[in-house]
A and B are shown apart, each in its own frame.
Chain A
Amino acid sequence: MAKSEESAAGAALLQVDDLQVEFVTRDGVARAVNGVSYSVGAGETLAVLGESGSGKSVTAQAVMGILDMPPGRITGGRVLYRGQDLLTMPEEQRRRIRGRKIAMIFQDALSALNPVFSVGWQLGEVFRVHEGMSKKDSLRRAVELMDRVRIPAAAQRVNDYPHQFSGGMRQRIMIAMALALEPDLIIADEPTTALDVTVQAQVMDLLAELQAEYNMGLILITHDLGVVADVADKIAVMYAGRIVETAPVHELYAGPAHPYTKGLLRSIPRLDQKGQDLYAIKGLPPSLLHIPDGCAFNPRCERAADRCRAELPLLQAVLDEDGADLPGRRSACHFWKETLHG
């Protein structure tokens, strides 16, 4: 890790550092997360982008302490919350931070809510458990929260059950639940993937507004290049359990420094391509049981050379054409220079 990022660590709300997670499966050991590092500060939005199976959710689960262990196990790295390692701190303290300071929103709100309890009861539970509130007070707070996330007629709906709400409303209730204890950091794992675009726009709008209001850090996990361009301050791109590129949002879209990112951006249909083939990254993402030697992307990469098949490229500083460090930019490609400037 570069010096500049070390020293900035004091400022980071959450810093994941060289995290490693593997799963022991029937067919062998799947190395799902192979040294992931990223950080997010207060009021900042980090988007984690990558295709299915690249390790986005597993990283978040390790941060939240909700990883399936076994079969999963954390084999290395640190998860620093305000500089303190969640992985090594005493259980009691860890639980307090994970319960109150970091909250998570999941893709599938319906399965994250309990179908047999009313929405108000579930929202109020946070207050009863963490603040010892009475049933009546907790319901009052539940209505406030539902109002806050713009559920119409919240007072009348507080006793309704999850299935009585639409998908977009359920996702807003999940956001309300995450906000209940005013956390510093929200991890949203594909919060709008299951929603229609007009509803997605509502939910993202709401999330951004609340984030600004409470100055929260937000880690947004997604594979949607549009959503990322809309809301992210900075981006971490994952491939086969590694971060392959990090960059501030404008710089990433203007000039990617990793061939995978470049390929993703090139495969977005453009107007002037009508009637022509889309650019397609060839091949398929690798199985985590057999990650290719060297750079995991090499079998699909247009720029791959012998070095790429032999030597693992580490996440390294990206420089501009005059050799000056581009802050926040890293690429795990031997040929980042050619990719960015070539």
Chain B
Amino acid sequence: MAEPILEVRNLVKYFPLTQGVLFKRQIGAVQAVDGISFELHKGETLGIVGESGCGKSTLAKVLMSLERATAGEVLFKGEEISRLKGAALKAVRRNIQMVFQDPYTSLNPRMTVGDIIGEPFEIHPEVAPKGDRRKAVQDLLDVVGLNPEYINRYPHQFSGGQRQRIGIARGLALKPEIIICDEPVSALDVSVQAQVINLLEQLQGEFDLSYMFIAHDLSIVRHISDRVGVMYLGKMVEIGSDEQIYEHATHPYTQALLSAVPVPDPTGREGRERIILSGDIPSPANPPSGCRFRTRCWKAEERCSTELPLLAVPSLEGPAAHESACHFAAEREVEQSAA
């Protein structure tokens, strides 16, 4: 495996919950990201899945230094970056860029496409000296499959898929090594999603990019990812190769998540064994003790409420032997019959 380009160690991000207007008292914290560790390797795509509010975007923002970590470390090529400031922070930031979910609101409607894509050059003039900028922007438009003549148009003159391409062009402007894609296609029409996914894959090969790819469409995540991490309520509960996660999941939450995904094939739908979880996701301001999944888990026992299961490789054979945070990690007995 390639060397890690990004190492995340026990990363924590809490948002304080305060009360009072004048004299704010902290009465608790939203434990959005609570002790997450993983590595991202050069040239790979790490998919991150999990339900709304589990901390995916917060994780992305901390890695981008858009939010300060409460605790933990982020190492970029071995250098700790989560506490950098000023020029040092600026220099690192260049290497990690982000593509956002919403192509409708993430672009400033009053700026031309050329200004939007070229904006990062204002902060990092060393990448494209002033005289070369127009050319640089047009090259970027070309790379993402947009007509370079569109440089003076405004975002509203583009469709959602085209706007997402503009967002990607902007993400590429500084020639980063890592791109974090936060739900890059969820706002797009089904028939347009595939176009953007193909573009992302093509660019990865061309520029040797590493991706962290956050999405809720599990089939797209599987298609694009080399490895996949599953989050639940601020924790990484399972991580492994796409095959390990999709075919040999050992964490009950991953199993429930996968079984809940509707399969786009009606054949054998009556016989499909589906885990329907009861209850709702607990609040991250007041997560359950022990294992955070225990309130919805059908395997939960006494031990689950007292002892936090750590993300570790359970003593299982073959592809089931990958990191999982469950006291009773095991593959699901009933496998889907439909193929």
CB distance from A244 to the nearest CB of B (A): 13
CB distance from B245 to the nearest CB of A (A): 13
Complex contact B222–A269 (CB within 8 A): yes
Residue in A51, A167, A197, A281 with the greatest tally of chain B CB atoms within 10 Å: A197
CB distance from A118 to the nearest CB of B (A): 19
Check if B266 is an interface residue, CB within 8 A of chain A: yes
Docked complex: B263-299 residues within 8 A CB-CB of A: 263-267, 269, 274, 276-281
Residue of A nearest to B51 (CB): A196
CB distance from A335 to the nearest CB of B (A): 19
Check if A278 is an interface residue, CB within 8 A of chain B: yes
Complex contact B194–A279 (CB within 8 A): yes
How far apart are the CA atoms of A267 and B263 in the complex, in Å?
14
B149 contacts which chain A residues (CB < 8 A)? none
Complex contact A229–B197 (CB within 8 A): no
**Contact segment of B22-30, B77-85, B184-192, B324-332:** B184-192
B189 contacts which chain A residues (CB < 8 A)? 51-52, 223, 285
Check if B193 is an interface residue, CB within 8 A of chain A: yes
Helix, strand, loop or mixed for chain A's interface? Answer: helix
Docked complex: B32-66 residues within 8 A CB-CB of A: 51-52
How far apart are the CA atoms of A166 and B280 in the complex, in Å?
7
Check if A264 is an interface residue, CB within 8 A of chain B: yes
Cross-interface CB contact of A51 among B191, B194, B195, B262, cutoff 8 Å = B191
Check if A273 is an interface residue, CB within 8 A of chain B: yes
Complex contact A278–B260 (CB within 8 A): no
Docked complex: A179-235 residues within 8 A CB-CB of B: 196-202, 204-205, 223-230, 232
Residue in B51, B195, B202, B262 with the greatest tally of chain A CB atoms within 10 Å: B262
Docked complex: B148-198 residues within 8 A CB-CB of A: 159, 161-162, 189-195, 197-198
A200 contacts which chain B residues (CB < 8 A)? 260, 262
Residue in A232, A264, A268, A273 with the greatest tally of chain B CB atoms within 10 Å: A268
Residue in A52, A232, A254, A263 with the greatest tally of chain B CB atoms within 10 Å: A52
Complex contact B264–A229 (CB within 8 A): yes
- A198-B256, A198-B277, A229-B265 known; A278 and B159 CB under 8 Å? no
How far apart are the CA atoms of A224 and B267 in the complex, in Å?
16
Docked complex: A144-175 residues within 8 A CB-CB of B: 152, 166-169
How far apart are the CA atoms of A281 and B195 in the complex, in Å?
8
Check if B220 is an interface residue, CB within 8 A of chain A: yes
How far apart are the CA atoms of A285 and B189 in the complex, in Å?
9
Residue of B nearest to A284 (CB): B159
Instruction: Kindly supply a per-residue 1/0 record for chain A positions 51-84, scoring 1 wherever the CB is within 8 Å of any chain B CB and 0 otherwise.
Output: 1100000000000000000000000000000000
Check if B336 is an interface residue, CB within 8 A of chain A: no
Cross-interface CB contact of A226 among B192, B202, B262, B277, cutoff 8 Å = B262
Complex contact B197–A197 (CB within 8 A): no
Complex contact A230–B222 (CB within 8 A): no
Cross-interface CB contact of A281 among B194, B201, B277, cutoff 8 Å = B194
Residue of A nearest to B283 (CB): A166
A229 contacts which chain B residues (CB < 8 A)? 262-266, 269
- A198-B51, A205-B276, A277-B198 known; A250 and B266 CB under 8 Å? yes
Check if A274 is an interface residue, CB within 8 A of chain B: yes
Instruction: Kindly supply a per-residue 1/0 record for chain A positions 277-305, scoring 1 wherever the CB is within 8 Å of any chain B CB and 0 otherwise.
Output: 11111101100000000000000100000
Residue of A nearest to B247 (CB): A271
CB distance from B28 to the nearest CB of A (A): 18
Complex contact B267–A267 (CB within 8 A): no
Cross-interface CB contact of A230 among B192, B269, B277, cutoff 8 Å = B269
Check if A117 is an interface residue, CB within 8 A of chain B: no
A230 contacts which chain B residues (CB < 8 A)? 262-263, 266, 269
Residue of B nearest to A267 (CB): B194
Extra contacts besides A168-B280, A226-B262, A284-B159 (8): CB < 8 Å: A201-B260, A225-B264, A226-B264, A227-B262, A250-B267, A253-B267, A263-B191, A279-B194
Give 11 A-B contacts (CB < 8 Å), ordered by A residue. A166-B281, A196-B216, A201-B260, A229-B264, A254-B267, A265-B264, A269-B197, A274-B222, A274-B223, A278-B223, A284-B192
- Lowest 9 CB-CB distances: which A-B pairs, in order? A226-B262, A269-B223, A280-B194, A196-B51, A201-B260, A278-B194, A225-B264, A51-B189, A281-B191
Question: Which residues of B are interface residues toward A (Cβ below 8 A)?
Answer: 51-52, 159, 161-162, 189-195, 197-198, 201-202, 216, 218-220, 222-223, 242, 256-257, 260-267, 269, 274, 276-281
Question: Which residues of A are interface residues toward B (Cβ below 8 A)?
Answer: 51-52, 152, 166-169, 196-202, 204-205, 223-230, 232, 249-250, 253-254, 263-265, 267-269, 271, 273-274, 277-282, 284-285, 300
